[in-house]
Structure 1
């Protein structure tokens, strides 16, 4: 039997971790792999040169689009928690409201939960979310022009950057890669951050859906500070320091506990 070299095993684990999360910091990778940050930095450099990951400030991100199997895995991960969060979000949205809905597996769950509401007007760049509303003749649904990203059904590339200028929202519903200890809300996709930022500027109320595994985690691209949102909806409460930070910025914390 041929034994796989230790370095190769470590780098494979590193790639799997980054694919699962989209982005990971040097510190997190070093802790999980039980090696120094210098070792992780060398591994990332080699993997970047091989086209397997992309070096980023303070860590590494996925190289190109997420693989279908990885996205399917994300949909299965913490599925029950996402369903609980989705119902809490839907309870906050009033019938007849105008809504911007972000993309991602959490927002797909939220889309399903929003079918319990009536007469919504929804703007989303997720075709998978839009299709969940297709049987509702009392909903108005708008999506931008562009190309469908097959892995997750997002409409990307080629869309008019002024698409959102024509809309005003009662609610912007967002889901991101994480919120770090300083309160920075981050994601790993620059396109998604740009659309989310534009929607926030046009919304009366901003709802951030964030499962508890994402508290204390960063991301490749900063969207805003948590003080810019009105609600954080999660399955369980974060650690005390983060809860206190939310309270200090008048951010309402809604949990499923």
Structure 2
């Protein structure tokens, strides 16, 4: 009781504890937190609003979900932070590519790393919405590179618009490496950027196999704009250690889950 009383008197302490519960459970509900801390649901909603404004959680109806750690960072910052985990995930994903395939690469620093991890003698046709990825793919002698045109988003360094959609909708690819801002078993794949949504949907619709490659912090997270349900993903490649949620929730949806020891 003393703990509940203290947390009620100290909002910053209560919010820290909410973050710990969110990390442990992968989701928090205002009603449950209200009972746990012996405060009103209005108080909890204000706490969640403050945490959301600080970029620490993603508010949803009735509660909150984790927010990916790199949300809001610009492209070049994320490239400079590419670590051993992303490199290992990309190397494993690149092994899925076979000679003669038509492969699509979504925008994002992880898909860029996948492009850089392909075998030097691979022979494929590659389509991408990312100029940076196109440049990396152009270094391979055996890769024919098709770069979608359109308006460049400076935050993501990817293209979007009618020209982009027209090209993607006319392709039937063998494989897509989709960029992931956030992926939640109930909400699906979601994005921070509204103009990315139709492009990502067109990429998914045009691929026979969809592979999502992501670090663990994006699992169980939600961004404002929903792209597609998790059922559209065939394979999920991620870390062995998952801090939030339950990896089995993705397997139950029929997704092949590959976890990498790093």
TM surpasses 0.5: yes
Structure 2: segments with no counterpart, 5+ residues: 1-11, 13-26, 34-42
Structure 1 residue 135 and structure 2 residue 143: aligned? Answer: no
Aligned to 2:212: 208
Question: How far does residue 42 in structure 1 lie from its aligned partner after superposition?
Answer: 7.1
Q: Which moved more, 1:159-168 or 1:205-214?
A: 159-168
Provide the aligned length of Structure 1 versus Structure 2: 218
Aligned to 1:223: 227
1:90 pairs with one of 75, 85, 94: 94
Aligned to 1:37: 45
Structure 1 residue 104 and structure 2 residue 112: aligned? Answer: no
The separation in 1 between residues aligned to 2:104 and 2:153, in whole angstroms, is 19
Question: How far does residue 238 in structure 1 lie from its aligned partner after superposition?
Answer: 3.7
Q: Which moved more, 1:231-240 or 1:195-204?
A: 231-240
Distance 1:156 1:181, change over 3 A: closer
Distance 1:152 1:41, change over 3 A: closer
The separation in 1 between residues aligned to 2:217 and 2:50, in whole angstroms, is 27
Question: How far does residue 239 in structure 1 lie from its aligned partner after superposition?
Answer: 6.7
Aligned to 1:153: 157
Deviation string 1:90-141 (CA, Å, 9 cap, x unpaired) is: 0111122111111011111111112546111111110000000122232111
The separation in 1 between residues aligned to 2:221 and 2:207, in whole angstroms, is 26
Written as runs of structure 1 = structure 2, the 5 A alignment for 1:189-208 is: 189-208=193-212
The answer to whether the 8 A contact 2:217-2:243 is kept is no
Aligned to 2:236: 232
Distance 1:26 1:242, change over 3 A: closer
The separation in 2 between residues aligned to 1:67 and 1:217, in whole angstroms, is 16
Aligned to 1:52: none
The answer to whether the 8 A contact 1:94-1:117 is kept is no
The separation in 1 between residues aligned to 2:244 and 2:220, in whole angstroms, is 12
The answer to whether the 8 A contact 1:181-1:217 is kept is no
TM-score by length of 1: 0.71
The separation in 2 between residues aligned to 1:240 and 1:252, in whole angstroms, is 19
Question: How far does residue 205 in structure 1 lie from its aligned partner after superposition?
Answer: 0.8
The separation in 1 between residues aligned to 2:214 and 2:170, in whole angstroms, is 28
1:75 pairs with one of 49, 72, 79: 79
The separation in 2 between residues aligned to 1:117 and 1:237, in whole angstroms, is 33
Deviation string 1:173-220 (CA, Å, 9 cap, x unpaired) is: 112111225252211122322112112222111101111111111111
The separation in 2 between residues aligned to 1:251 and 1:26, in whole angstroms, is 25
The answer to whether the 8 A contact 1:84-1:235 is kept is no
Distance 1:170 1:117, change over 3 A: farther
